[in-house]
Amino acid sequence: MSHTFLMEAGRWRLQGSWLERDGMPIPVKGKILVAWSKDDWYTMVTKLEFPGSEREGVSYQYRGRLNMGDRQYTFVLQHSLLGKVEGEGWVAPESIVQRYWVLGDRQRRTGFETLYQLSDNEYYMSSGVMAGHYLTSAMEARLARVKHNE
């Protein structure tokens, strides 16, 4: 089974839980849009919301390059909470792993995401943000591809 998330243009829905240090899990929902240009550049926009919570939404805007057939790639990211971010990703046989670091950040914040492929249309994501050596937030969620007629 080859990867469909990130490797192909499309829309995805996200649903899961957001956790913060010393807090209870908060439901999270989101939408992801992946688009590709003809020169192996992709953009990915993610918007998260927290239904039933006063927590403000989070948005991510990625731009990266992945040459066809490569297993490693780099990206830049504008994150609504972290600011300017750079990162790298690896495409493994059953997962996509990304790590990133916040530019010019005194707190030395970094993050990671692992997307495990369950089927062509579904992934399971686990992610976290760290400040120095401490985990500050985490998210676990299912991603489902949105069909063209939905």
Q: Which tens digits make up the pLDDT trace of 83-116?
A: 999 999 999 999 999 999 999 999 999 999 999 9
What whole-number distance in Å separates Cα of residue 96 and Cα of residue 13?
17
Mean pLDDT of the chain: 95
Domain residue limits at 14: 10-145
| pLDDT above 90 for 38 | no
Residue 104 included in any domain: yes
Residue 51 included in any domain: yes
Residue 24 included in any domain: yes
* Token pair in block for residue 54: 């006063």
Report the Cα 131 to chain-centroid distance in Å: 18
Residue 2 included in any domain: no
Q: Which amino acid is at 92?
A: A
**CA angle (146 as vertex; 142, 147 as ends), nearest 5:** 140
Residue 63 included in any domain: yes
Residue 112 included in any domain: yes
pTM metric for this prediction = 0.92
Residue 3 included in any domain: no
Q: How many domains does the chain have?
A: 1
Residue 150: per-residue pLDDT: 65
Mean pLDDT of 139-150: 90
Q: Which residue has tokens 């992610």?
A: 127
Q: How many CA atoms are closer than 13 Å to the CA of 95, on its beta-carbon side? A: 11
For 51-92, the pLDDT digits (tens) are 999 899 999 999 999 988 889 999 999 999 999 999 999 999
CATH of the domain at 117: 2.40.128.20
Helix, strand, coil percent content, the chain, rounded in steps of 5: 0, 65, 35
Residue 48 included in any domain: yes
